[in-house]
């Protein structure tokens, strides 16, 4: 049980550090998958280690891909010529 709690804490801390790492959703998903696979590998044992690694990678990729981006883009309305800024 302690191993699971420690691994979960490590995973949350790692995701917190990676959250602002990039404005690119693909990069965030890949880094999340790597962290999730590493944590899953630590949690699993025996023949379940492969399944835990794959599940950790899947969860990590999903969490990483859904991190909010801070990148702002400027758009221009072609009809009015007015510009506005919004998240990309």
| Max CA pair span of the chain | 64
The reported pTM is: 0.57
Are the C-beta atoms of residues 28 and 18 closer than 8 Å to each other? Answer: yes
- Give the residue among 88, 68, 71 at the shortest CA–CA distance from 28: 68
Distance, in Å, from the CA atom of 52 to the CA atom of 45, rounded to the nearest integer, reads 8
* Residue 40 or 23, more confident: 40
Are the C-beta atoms of residues 15 and 63 closer than 8 Å to each other? Answer: yes
Q: pLDDT by residue (tens digit) across 51-82?
A: 989 998 999 889 888 887 677 788 998 899 89
Residue 22: phi and psi, rounded to 5, are: -150, 155
């Amino acid at each position: 049980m302690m191993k699971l709690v420690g691994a979960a804490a490590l995973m949350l801390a790692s995701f917190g550090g990676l959250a602002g790492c990039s404005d690119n959703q693909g990069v965030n998903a890949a880094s999340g998958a790597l962290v999730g696979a590493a944590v899953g590998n630590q949690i699993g044992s025996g023949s379940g280690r492969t399944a835990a690694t794959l599940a950790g990678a899947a969860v990590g990729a999903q969490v990483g891909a859904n991190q909010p981006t801070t990148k702002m883009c400027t758009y221009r309305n072609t009809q009015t010529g007015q510009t506005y800024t919004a998240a990309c």
